[in-house]
């Protein structure tokens, strides 16, 4: 029995310990000579092979498709679907584990997670991968530290101060609990304690708070597990605990905040934005929005939903800021828009400002200049850095009357160049967040009408999909760059070709959707994309967004997070990334044929 068999290697990592032992008992080790055919094309297979040492060639007729090395397995299709689509032969002296077909079929029938590996299409593999990941993430959630949660401020009041003073302090700091200092003792008093004292016990609001404070304070440490705090609250029937770092009280943790952390508290951030009365309040909400991304990802929330949540919170933030700094005439006769990934609802980790303003008619220049500076400056103070391309409200090119935008559209289409194509792409992804949204609708409708039938323009527009090469080789190997530290760029090699290819097709067909996944769905519905391929394209896109987000969250401040080192991924993730890049290659080829890019 081959004890050295690595059961942590996908797909065998999905087996139970008992199933692993059953499989190991059935395994054999086989030797193949150089040039020896192991599985012939269009023939069934009697085993699933896993390479121990050597190299296997996967061929379609005389075409070499892939080279398989140690830990790679083959041919799952021949086992499940009756015959192999390709030939597998030894390139050199090769050793393999051989798992008998009967044993593998039994495991497929008894273990759905193991069976998912044998699906033909990437979309089903990705669905199963995401479910596995969610199970792991939910398990790790309770192992988070208290320091990662929202804490109410550690505000102190003297035991001799009055109930009235305590009430005012709670209101000022927006907290429902205060620490009470009574000589050497530290207690706590809550808003409920104050209410009961005044309403139920008819106490004077001038009564000292020591009369109602509780001095049996339960404390936890910032580095304690969230699960420990929850167990403590439940066991002692406490709604809040004090957080103390050594001798210093650093905050108050309430049960609602623990539950909010476990369930997601985006609605809390949204409420803070709606209640904000100053730009400082909005700055706090902006920081909390950034923190939400990490929390939601830890909870296993899908990257597409994280994008929607973050976009919604940012939209509320921009809209509230617009109300604060825009003159009244701008709020009724202007439309604030966001563009780029923010407009598509695909921005997760905060990047540059990509916004603009459409006005119904010309306005006073000093007033407009003041608004431009105030709005963009406020966003910069919230942590939204200026756009390197100056696509932002502070630029006169992106904050002007509708008539000026329409004139730009005519120039962009009549005299197209790389800048014109980029500007069309930017504006086509725009979404209204405040003011008169009909201005954006009119602008987009006009842009679409101008482009309609302009096949030469659309073809040149679509050519940008070939700006960057897809980092996968002839033999399905992932191509990294030594200059990037043996990493590959997910955005350039995978995400951008899908975003822009889908955008080009959507623009050609006059679609008003902005999100890439919604554009894919509409292109499927109108018959441009085959349903199965649309699903694979969407799944590959979401998988790469997920890897990018994980990279962004792991990256140090100031880095893009779009670079991924295959060596840092699990073998399953590498396998799925290869599949995703294959889908990108197919989509790029489809787009080339569709727009006849070979003619250029």
**pLDDT above 70: residue 451:** yes
Q: Exposure of 527 by Cβ count < 10 A (0-12 exposed, 13-18 middle, 19+ buried)?
A: exposed
Nearest to 581 by CA among 508, 479, 439, 461: 479
pLDDT of residue 125: 61
Q: What confidence category does residue 122 fall into, taking pLDDT thresholds of 50, 70 and 90?
A: low
The dihedral built from the CA positions of residue 525, 526, 531 and 536, taken in this order, carries a sign that is: negative
3 state SS of 355: strand
The dihedral built from the CA positions of residue 120, 126, 127 and 133, taken in this order, carries a sign that is: positive
Residues contacting residue 438 through CB under 8 Å, at least 6 positions apart: 335
- The residue length of the chain stands at 600
Q: What string of H, E and C letters represents the secondary structure of 289-354?
A: HHHHHHHHHHCCCCHHHHHHHHHHHHHHHHHHHHHHHCCHHHHHHEEEEECHHHHHCCCCCCCCCC
- Edge-to-edge strands, sheet with 94-100: 28-32, 94-100, 47-53, 73-74
- Calculate the average pLDDT of the chain: 86
DSSP assignment letter at 392: S
DSSP assignment letter at 385: P
304 CB-side CA count, 13 A? 11
Q: Is the omega angle on the peptide bond into residue 11 within 30 degrees of 0, that is, cis? A: yes
pLDDT of residue 117: 72
Q: CA 556 from chain center: how many Å? A: 17
Q: What confidence category does residue 10 fall into, taking pLDDT thresholds of 50, 70 and 90?
A: confident
Q: In DSSP terms, which residues pair with 158 in a beta bridge?
A: 181
pLDDT of residue 127: 61
Nearest to 14 by CA among 114, 89, 133: 114
**pLDDT tens, residue by residue, 567-587:** 777 767 787 888 899 899 999
**Euclidean distance between CA atoms 384 and 289, whole angstroms:** 12
Q: In DSSP terms, which residues pair with 51 in a beta bridge?
A: 96
pLDDT of residue 556: 47
pLDDT of residue 348: 78
Residue 226 · residue 298 · CB < 8 Å: no
Phi and psi at 56, nearest 5°, equal -115, 135
pLDDT of residue 474: 60
Pick the residue with more confidence: 498 or 484? 498
Residue 359 · residue 333 · CB < 8 Å: yes
Nearest to 152 by CA among 238, 249, 246, 247: 249
Q: What confidence category does residue 2 fall into, taking pLDDT thresholds of 50, 70 and 90?
A: low
Q: Exposure of 376 by Cβ count < 10 A (0-12 exposed, 13-18 middle, 19+ buried)?
A: buried
Pick the residue with more confidence: 300 or 277? 277
Pick the residue with more confidence: 115 or 354? 354
**pLDDT above 50: residue 386:** yes
pLDDT of residue 150: 79
* Phi-psi group of 145: left, alpha or beta (phi > 0 → left; psi -120 to 50 → alpha; rest → beta): beta
435 vs 326, 379, 404, 431, CA distance in Å? 10, 18, 18, 12
**pLDDT above 50: residue 559:** no
Residue 356 · residue 391 · CB < 8 Å: yes
pLDDT of residue 557: 40
Phi and psi at 60, nearest 5°, equal -115, 95
**pLDDT above 90: residue 409:** yes
Query: What DSSP letter does each residue of 231-249 carry, written as one string?
Result: HHHHHHT-SEEEEEETTEE
Stretch among 46-55, 228-237, 479-488 having the lowest mean pLDDT: 479-488
3 state SS of 435: strand
117 vs 20, 99, 468, 476, 582, CA distance in Å? 16, 15, 30, 18, 17
**pLDDT tens, residue by residue, 531-540:** 989 999 999 9
Pick the residue with more confidence: 135 or 466? 466
**pLDDT tens, residue by residue, 504-530:** 999 999 999 999 999 999 999 999 999
3 state SS of 388: coil
pLDDT of residue 121: 55
Q: What confidence category does residue 249 fall into, taking pLDDT thresholds of 50, 70 and 90?
A: very high
pLDDT of residue 476: 64
How much of the chain is in helix, strand and coil states, percent to nearest 5?
Answer: 55, 15, 30
**Euclidean distance between CA atoms 257 and 408, whole angstroms:** 50
CA angle at residue 151 from 148 to 155, to 5 degrees? 145
- Which whole number is the average pLDDT over 247-273? 76
Nearest to 337 by CA among 437, 407, 424: 437
Q: CA 68 from chain center: how many Å? A: 32
3 state SS of 50: strand
Rounded to 10°, the helix 531-554/303-325 angle is 70
pLDDT of residue 553: 78
**pLDDT tens, residue by residue, 312-349:** 888 899 999 999 999 988 888 899 999 988 899 888 77
In 328-462, beta strands by DSSP E: 334-338, 355-359, 399-401, 431-435
pLDDT > 70 fraction of the chain, expressed in percent and rounded: 89
**Euclidean distance between CA atoms 339 and 356, whole angstroms:** 8
**pLDDT tens, residue by residue, 133-160:** 544 544 455 567 888 787 888 999 999 9
pLDDT of residue 126: 63
Q: What confidence category does residue 132 fall into, taking pLDDT thresholds of 50, 70 and 90?
A: low
Residues contacting residue 382 through CB under 8 Å, at least 6 positions apart: 282, 283, 286, 317
Stretch among 246-255, 427-436, 467-476, 531-540 having the lowest mean pLDDT: 467-476
- Which whole number is the average pLDDT over 422-443? 95
- Which whole number is the average pLDDT over 386-405? 93
């Amino acid at each position: 029995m081959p004890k050295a068999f690595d059961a942590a290697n996908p797909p065998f990592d999905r087996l139970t310990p008992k199933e692993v032992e059953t499989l190991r008992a059935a395994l054999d080790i086989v030797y193949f000579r150089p040039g020896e055919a192991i599985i012939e094309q269009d023939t069934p297979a009697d085993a699933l092979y896993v390479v121990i040492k050597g190299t296997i060639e996967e061929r379609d007729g005389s075409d070499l498709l892939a080279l398989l090395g140690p830990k790679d397995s083959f041919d799952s299709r021949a086992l499940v679907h009756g015959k192999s689509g390709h030939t597998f032969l030894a390139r050199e002296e090769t050793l393999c584990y051989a798992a008998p077909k009967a044993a593998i079929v039994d495991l497929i029938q008894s273990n759905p997670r193991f069976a998912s590996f044998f699906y033909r299409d990437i979309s089903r593999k990705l669905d199963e991968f995401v479910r596995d990941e969610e199970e792991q993430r939910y398990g790790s959630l309770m192992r988070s530290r208290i320091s990662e949660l929202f804490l109410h401020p550690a505000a102190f009041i003297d035991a001799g101060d009055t109930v009235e003073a305590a009430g005012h302090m709670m209101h000022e700091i927006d907290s429902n609990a205060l620490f009470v200092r009574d000589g050497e003792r530290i207690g706590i008093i809550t808003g409920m304690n104050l209410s009961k004292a005044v309403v139920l016990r008819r106490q004077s609001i001038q009564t000292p708070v020591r009369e109602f404070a509780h001095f049996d304070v339960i404390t936890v440490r910032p580095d304690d597990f969230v699960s420990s705090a929850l167990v403590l609250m439940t066991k002692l029937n406490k709604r809040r605990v004090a957080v103390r770092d050594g001798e210093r009280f650093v905050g108050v943790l309430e049960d609602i905040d623990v539950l909010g952390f476990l369930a997601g508290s985006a609605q809390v951030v949204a409420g803070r934005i709606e209640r904000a009365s100053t730009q400082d309040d909005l700055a706090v909400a902006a920081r909390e929005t950034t923190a939400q991304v990490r929390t939601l990802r830890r909870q296993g929330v899908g990257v597409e939903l994280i994008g929607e949540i973050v976009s919604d919170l940012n939209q509320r933030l921009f809209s509230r800021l617009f109300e604060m700094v825009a003159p009244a005439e701008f709020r009724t006769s202007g439309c604030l828009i966001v563009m780029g990934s923010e407009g598509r609802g695909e921005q997760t980790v905060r990047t540059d400002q990509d916004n603009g303003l459409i006005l119904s008619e010309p306005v006073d220049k000093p007033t407009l200049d003041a608004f431009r500076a105030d709005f963009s400056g406020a966003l910069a103070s919230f942590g939204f850095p200026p756009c390197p391309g100056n696509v932002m409200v502070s630029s006169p090119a992106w904050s002007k009357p509708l008539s000026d935008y329409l004139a730009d559209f005519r120039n962009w289409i009549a005299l197209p160049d790389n800048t014109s194509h980029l500007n069309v792409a930017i504006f086509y992804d725009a979404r209204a967040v405040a003011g008169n949204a009909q201005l954006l609708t009119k602008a987009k409708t006009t842009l679409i009408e101008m482009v309609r039938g302009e096949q030469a323009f659309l073809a040149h527009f679509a050519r940008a999909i070939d700006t960057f090469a897809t980092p996968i080789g002839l033999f399905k190997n992932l191509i990294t760059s030594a200059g990037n530290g043996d990493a590959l760029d997910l955005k350039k090699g995978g995400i951008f070709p899908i975003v822009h290819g889908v955008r080009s097709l959507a623009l050609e067909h006059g679609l008003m959707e902005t999100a890439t996944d919604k554009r894919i769905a509409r292109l499927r519905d109108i018959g441009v994309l085959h349903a199965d391929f649309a699903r694979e394209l969407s799944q590959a896109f979401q998988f790469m967004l997920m890897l990018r987000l994980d990279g962004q969250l792991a990256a140090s401040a100031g880095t893009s997070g779009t670079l991924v080192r295959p060596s840092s991924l699990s073998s399953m993730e590498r396998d799925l990334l290869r599949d995703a890049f294959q889908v990108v290659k197919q989509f790029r080829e489809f787009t080339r044929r569709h727009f006849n890019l070979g003619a250029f």
